């Protein structure tokens, strides 16, 4: 091990930093792929634009001396070798796919922040005992293929490989087929990949850090989530001759469930979140009473017992609403994970790095789902948050300052270095 790495074991100092301008330039270059008119991006999972983004990141990783492997779910691992061939890697990364009207930082900041860690270590000729790995997780958003975080879920053993590859988009195309099409159907097994530690860098996607003028969020926990798909079926009929009392209006039932979902969220405030985010009405004709409505429900809370209570209230309420107007119901929970408590040692590394740089910081619970939530089931894991302007995310106007972006990457660099220079057993 070189002298710099020996010194790192004795204590990191703030002269070891990332190149903030290079990181920002990389983010802005990526933002050109799938750029939208309002300044955001649209790179849905496994589209040609997603492939273009992956290809660019892989080329940058190879230029930085990384070896690249792709697993069976299309997760891309970019490794910088350590000095100890038997040491487990320290992992970071996030996702490169976006929402249809997504922003320039969601997910991709974590990937390129990880790449910047590697580039900065190269700049200073710093060796680490443990390898450093950066990952691009497939289909984190769940926008094109539900559920979200499916590939990291397969990696963690939450889902089977067959389940992950068989997920379909609205056109019936599967993840497996689309991975083959874009050339990212790898042959490395998905999972069984031991890690020494893992970190994920992300914008907060909420307003707390900016409102409190904090630069770093030290993420200690993440909310649990339940996702549902609901179909209400009534009977299509002519909008003119059909009397109001004789109607079996599926959209009316759906509207009442939307209100129910909102009331459930408010009843468990301030920590609960309850959302209907997608709806499909059939036959969707202006003079036909809707006969079938498909829609989604998203529940979140940091207490699993409260999530279970919300689940019971939803099921009871949907049955009552449907029964009152003669509708048939299908209600399926398609996605669930318990609230996550991140690894205490990894959280401590993040907090220590923020304090070392003198960045204002606070402990916080993530309201959003992240690949780190599944990863925490198989490896010591934590997260680093930075603010986003007005707390806006999943929106084309999502924004962050170069100073926040650099600060978060500095914290990531130091947290990873601390763990990567530990002696391997």
305: burial class by Cβ within 10 Å (0-12, 13-18, 19+)?
exposed
Q: What are phi and psi of 226, to 5 degrees?
A: -135, 130
288: burial class by Cβ within 10 Å (0-12, 13-18, 19+)?
middle
pLDDT, tens only, 70-99: 999 999 999 999 999 999 999 999 999 999
The verdict on 28 and 40 lying in the same domain is yes
The verdict on 255 and 122 lying in the same domain is no
The verdict on 122 and 197 lying in the same domain is yes
Is the separation of the CB atoms in 57 and 66 below 8 Å? no
pLDDT at site 3: 44
The verdict on 99 and 136 lying in the same domain is yes
pLDDT at site 354: 98
pLDDT at site 1: 42
Among residues 322, 337, 352, the one where a domain terminates is: 337
pLDDT, tens only, 29-78: 999 999 999 999 999 999 999 999 999 999 999 999 999 999 999 999 99
Residue 41 lies in a domain: yes
- Cβ neighbours for 279, distance < 8 A, ≥ 6 positions apart: 254, 293, 294, 295, 296
Residue 425 lies in a domain: no
Mean predicted confidence (pLDDT) in 208-229? 96
Percent of the chain whose predicted confidence (pLDDT) is above 70: 97
pLDDT bucket at 164, cuts 50 / 70 / 90: very high
Among residues 337, 359, 377, the one where a domain terminates is: 337
pLDDT at site 335: 87
Given the DSSP bridges, would you call strands 216-222 and 288-289 parallel, antiparallel or unpaired?
Answer: unpaired
What does R_g of the chain's alpha carbons equal in angstroms? Answer: 23
How many folded domains does the chain comprise? Answer: 2
Query: Helix axis angle, 108-123 relative to 48-63, nearest 10°?
Result: 10
pLDDT, tens only, 107-132: 999 999 999 999 999 999 999 999 99
Q: Is the pLDDT of residue 2 over 90?
A: no
Q: Is the pLDDT of residue 6 over 70?
A: no
The verdict on 276 and 353 lying in the same domain is no
Mean predicted confidence (pLDDT) in 195-201? 98
**Full-model pTM:** 0.86
The verdict on 218 and 326 lying in the same domain is no
Residue 55 lies in a domain: yes
Residue 176 lies in a domain: yes
Among residues 278, 313, 337, the one where a domain terminates is: 337
The verdict on 298 and 402 lying in the same domain is no
Residue 211 lies in a domain: yes
The verdict on 211 and 229 lying in the same domain is no
| Domain containing residue 252 | 224-337
Residue 135 lies in a domain: yes
The verdict on 56 and 200 lying in the same domain is yes
Of 290, 256, 262, whose CA–CA distance to 276 is shortest? Answer: 262
The enclosing domain of 89 has a CATH number of: 3.40.630.10
Computed over every residue of the chain, the mean pLDDT equals: 96
- Cβ neighbours for 327, distance < 8 A, ≥ 6 positions apart: 232, 233, 234, 248, 250, 253, 321
Residue 288 lies in a domain: yes
Residue 392 lies in a domain: yes
The verdict on 32 and 111 lying in the same domain is yes
pLDDT bucket at 337, cuts 50 / 70 / 90: confident
The verdict on 235 and 265 lying in the same domain is yes
The enclosing domain of 329 has a CATH number of: 3.30.70.360
The verdict on 167 and 267 lying in the same domain is no
């Amino acid at each position: 091990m070189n002298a710099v790495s020996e010194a790192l074991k004795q204590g990191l100092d703030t002269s070891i930093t990332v190149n903030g301008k290079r990181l920002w330039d990389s983010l802005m270059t990526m933002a050109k792929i799938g750029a939208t008119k309002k300044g955001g991006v649209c790179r849905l999972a496994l589209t040609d634009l997603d492939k273009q983004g992956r290809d660019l990141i892989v080329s940058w990783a190879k230029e930085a001396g990384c070896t690249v492997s792709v697993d069976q779910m299309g997760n891309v691992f970019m490794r910088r070798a350590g000095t100890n061939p038997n040491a487990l890697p320290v992992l970071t990364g996030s996702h490169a796919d976006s929402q249809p009207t997504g922003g320039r930082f969601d997910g991709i900041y974590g990937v390129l922040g990880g790449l910047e860690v590697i580039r900065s270590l190269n700049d200073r000729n710093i060796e680490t005992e443990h390898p450093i790995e950066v990952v691009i997780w497939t289909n984190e958003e769940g926008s094109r293929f539900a559920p979200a975080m499916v590939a990291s879920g397969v990696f963690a053993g939450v889902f089977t490989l067959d389940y992950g590859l068989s997920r379909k988009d609205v056109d019936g195309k599967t993840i497996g087929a689309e991975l083959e099409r874009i050339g990212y159907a790898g042959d490395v097994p998905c999972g069984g990949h031991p890690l020494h530690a893992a970190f994920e860098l992300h914008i907060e996607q909420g307003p707390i850090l900016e409102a409190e003028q904090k630069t770093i969020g030290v993420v200690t926990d993440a909310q649990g989530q339940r996702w549902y798909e609901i179909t209400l079926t009534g009977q299509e009929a002519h909008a003119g001759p059909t009397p109001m009392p004789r109607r079996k209006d599926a959209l009316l039932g759906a509207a009442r469930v939307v209100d129910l979902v909102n009331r459930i969220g408010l009843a468990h405030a301030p920590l609960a979140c309850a959302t209907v985010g997608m709806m499909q009405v059939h036959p969707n004709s202006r003079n036909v009473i809707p006969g079938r409505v498909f829609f989604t429900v998203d529940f979140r809370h940091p207490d699993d017992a409260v999530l279970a209570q919300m689940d019971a209230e939803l099921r009871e309420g949907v049955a009552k609403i449907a029964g009152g107007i003669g509708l048939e119901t299908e209600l399926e929970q398609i996605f669930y994970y318990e609230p996550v408590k991140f690894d205490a040692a990894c959280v401590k590394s993040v907090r220590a790095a923020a304090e070392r740089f003198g960045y204002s910081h606070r402990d916080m619970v993530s309201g959003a789902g992240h690949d780190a939530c599944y990863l925490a089931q198989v490896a010591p894991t934590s997260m680093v948050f930075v603010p986003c302007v007005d707390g806006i995310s999943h929106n084309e106007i999502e924004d962050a300052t170069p100073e926040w972006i650099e600060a978060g990457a500095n914290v990531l660099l130091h947290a990873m270095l601390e763990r990567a220079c530990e002696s391997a057993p």
